[in-house]
Amino acid sequence: MIAILGVSHKTGPISVREQYTFSEEEISEFYARLKPEKCFKGLAIISTCNRQEIYFETNLNTEDENFEFITNCLSKYRTYSPLHKEYFYFYTGEKVVDHLFKVVSGIDSMILGEDQIVMQVKNAFRFCFENNFLSTVLTRLFNKSFEAANRVRTETNISHGAASVSSAAVEMCFDKFDNITDKKILIIGAGQTGELTLQNFSKKNCNHLYITNRTFEKADNLAKKYNANALKIKDIDKEINNFDIVIAATSSKNYLVTYSMIKPLNKKRVFVDISVPRNIDKSISTIKNIELLAVDDLQSHINEVSIKRHQSLIDAQQIINEVKRDFVQWVNSRNLLPIILKIKDNFETINNTELEGFLKINGIKEDTFISQYGHHIVEKLARLMIKNAKSVTDNGKNKEYVDFLNKLFEI
């Protein structure tokens, strides 16, 4: 059974989401804890600023068993608390398929139709695939989700108009100042979100852009690309008070901007933290003339774009349903594989045994023609039986009949 345990911007505040973030190293550690479990078959984790989702497959049969399995494992690895249960969602079977397809298509995003999530999920999938964390079914599931997302974005208008968490952050900064083009702006983080933020400011003709990153070379390359300046991360402490706008977008587990760094100044400054977990100490909001914004504060800027895209939802859902139906049929057909193998093996075994006895009793030496005829009859009966098995089980969908046929064709 495939299942998902997750928390997102729709179900839990950042104070909860940031407790369940996973770095690639932590995903590997979590997988190592699950692997010895006999029921465990595969794992994929999506960890972004807006969602933390654990996709997994087991051979457990009920939702309750799967929920207990994953929450117990998470409790041993993280301080998962039953008090957080209200913030989490848990799906199994087709609901997992529908949810993932919506996530990758941008339908479940804070900004409807945003395309940054596609690359984030692809990176998560690539990491899990290359490290053999995925089962065959999970691999197929994620590949079909990318197919669904591509069709939704090319066959509907859901992605029309630039919108992302980074662009919303930039728009919010523009609303805070009468003239932003001459403001000194620092972006902390040279990952995808950091680059998109830098790109958005650059497009709006901001003249004093700075970017810093743990790896200076990466920051320097982006600075050259967007006509900005690179700042060494060790210099943040002494330079931070020279900036009017600071945007943090990294995967660091620690505060990169602390209360002790910030000096009270007689000018307005805006800090935007779009990192999860947070990279800016929230206590700096108590300092005079400082305004601190986090991911959850971007919602108002996002709503306007989302309203325009909402009309594409019906077409997007129709596409998702088509690709989901194809995936579900593939999964169901896998349920019939053991039966098909049993039918063929049983008939072939009976044919070989009976043919050997028939030739021996009748004193006939090995006869190629008789052997070929026997094989022909076996193939014909097997095809007929397999056809009927697919029909009776609705191509593997009816698990009760699948289980019955499995027992029926045991030798």
Find, among 47, 4, 57, the residue nearest to 275 by Cα: 47
Find, among 271, 274, 251, 310, the residue nearest to 111 by Cα: 310
The dihedral over CA atoms of 178, 182, 187, 193, expressed in degrees to the nearest 10, equals: 60
**Do the bridges between strand 2-8 and strand 40-47 make them parallel or antiparallel, or are there none, so unpaired?**
unpaired
CA angle (344, 347, 350) in 5-degree steps: 145
Measure Cα distances from 292 to 79, 215, 278, 279, 367 in Å. Answer: 28, 26, 12, 12, 88
Three-state DSSP state, 206: coil
Q: How many Å apart are CA 40 and CA 194, to the nearest integer? A: 36
Q: One of 39, 49, 128, 206 is an active-site residue; which one?
A: 49
Active site residue 49: yes
Q: CB neighbours of 356 closer than 8 A, spacing ≥ 6?
A: none
Instruction: Judge whether 236 and 258 are in contact, CB under 8 Å.
Output: no
Q: Phi/psi zone of residue 255: left (φ > 0), alpha (ψ -120 to 50 degrees), beta?
A: beta
Which residue has tokens 């929450």? 71
Which residue has tokens 């008789």? 370
Helices (H), 313-367: 313-361
Tell me the backbone φ, ψ of residue 248, rounded to 5 degrees. -105, 130
Residue type, 11: T
Q: Which residues are catalytic?
A: 49
